[in-house]
Amino acid sequence: MTSLQHAAREVERSLAPARARDVVGAYLALTKPRIIELLLVTTIPAMFLAAGGVPDLGLVLVTLLAGALAAASANAFNCVLDRDIDELMRRTRRRPLPRHQVGTAAAVVFASLLGVASTVVFLVAVNWLSAVLALAANAFYVFVYTMWLKRRFSQNIVWGGIAGCFPPLIGWTAVTGELSWAPWVLFAIVFFWTPPHTWALAIRYRADYAAAGVPMLPVVLPAPGVTIRILAYSVLTVAVSLLLWPVAGTGWLYPVVAAVLGAAFLVEAVRLHLRAKAGLVDTELKPMRLFHWSNSYLALLFIAAAVDPLLR
């Protein structure tokens, strides 16, 4: 072997781990891990609330695994179906499919295997009701939101966001095997929270959505019209969050935390609307302040719901 051939072999060996990491990273990116994290944040507290304390930790882990697989499957299918518009948007053009890091057929197989694995884990280790709810959430996200609502209606996220409301139902049924009013209140909290959260992001990337032909509300409506709706949904979110207190019979911690967090959420929504009324647009509106705060709001609210039964 010549020295040149030997050097080429050494270079090839050194690149192999990097290529493997790139492939794994590309498939992981298809699952949108940040979205999965947010969904799981609403699953665990529902399990604590349903158990009236600490649920079986083995059940928690297997439910999180199955839920993560289900969400990963739905997100991967979303990447496949949205690959054309993702290529047109600055925020999404670096996803694996627009960059041709993963083939379309391979992504479909990957998403399908994740969905099958999720259903098997739910059926074997949790229960059939949780499995059905997870399948319903995925079907709604892929077929109703991604394939129908997203590209046709300005209220797409209002109804499409229903898919993201299922994790509290799944967490509750994993523990109890049945549904009751409390998990539906948790469902409603996420439902009313989703439009302010998403529209704040859509304001920031309004030009991207417009270029891709996606009729998000900030694309079709002036900023003050969007922000007043953000404020209205924020009020509904806070009101419904306080409803959990009597419905679930929580202790003192949850309503106190819900009231404080809700007040802060409404202050930020009011500030955003006032900036819009003053004539500021796009990034000048600072919509990402509300977007990031909405993430913290939901996480802290659900953590309070999980901790509350531990104090009783």
Which domains does the chain carry? 14-153 (1.10.357.140), 180-312 (1.20.120.1780)
Q: List the single range of 26-30, 140-144, 236-240 with lowest mean pLDDT.
A: 26-30
At 13 the pLDDT is 46
Token pair recorded at residue 260: 């404080």
pLDDT of residue 3: 54
Assign 270 a pLDDT band (cuts: 50, 70, 90).
Answer: very high
pLDDT bin (cut points 50, 70, 90) of residue 203 is: very high
Compute the average pLDDT of residues 176-189.
Answer: 96
Helices (H) and strands (E) in the chain, counts: 15, 0
Asked if pLDDT for residue 258 goes beyond 70, the answer is yes
In degrees, rounded to 5, the angle at the alpha carbon of residue 188 between the alpha carbons of residues 117 and 268 is 110
pLDDT at 293 over 50: yes
Residues in the chain: 312
∠ CA 143-144-147, rounded to 5°: 60
With cut-offs at 50, 70 and 90, classify the pLDDT of residue 8. very low
Cα(163)–Cα(187) distance, rounded to whole angstroms?
10
In which band, very low, low, confident or very high, does the pLDDT at 2 lie, cut at 50, 70 and 90? low
Q: Which helix (H) or strand (E) holds 18?
A: helix 3-30
With tokens 């969905």, the residue in question is 115
The two structure tokens encoding residue 90: 């600055």
Per-residue pLDDT at 221: 94
The more confidently predicted of residues 284 and 295 is 295
- By C-alpha distance, which of 62, 71, 46 is closest to 164? 71
Return d(Cα 305, Cα 45) in angstroms, integer.
6
Work out the average pLDDT over 198-223. 93
Structure tokens at 118: 């999720």
When pLDDT is cut at 50, 70 and 90, the band that residue 38 belongs to is confident
Per the model's pLDDT, the better-predicted residue between 9 and 175 turns out to be: 175
Mean pLDDT of 152-180: 95
Q: HSE (CB half, 13 Å, CA atoms) of 243?
A: 15
Q: Where are the alpha helices (DSSP H) in 179-222?
A: 181-204, 206-212, 217-220
Task: State the Cα–Cα distance between residues 91 and 101, nearest whole angstrom.
Answer: 17
Task: Please check the confidence at residue 242 and state whether its pLDDT lies above 80.
Answer: yes
Write down the pLDDT at residue 82: 92
Amino acid symbol at 48: F
What is the residue-averaged pLDDT of the chain?
91
Q: Tell me: pLDDT of 11 over 90.
A: no
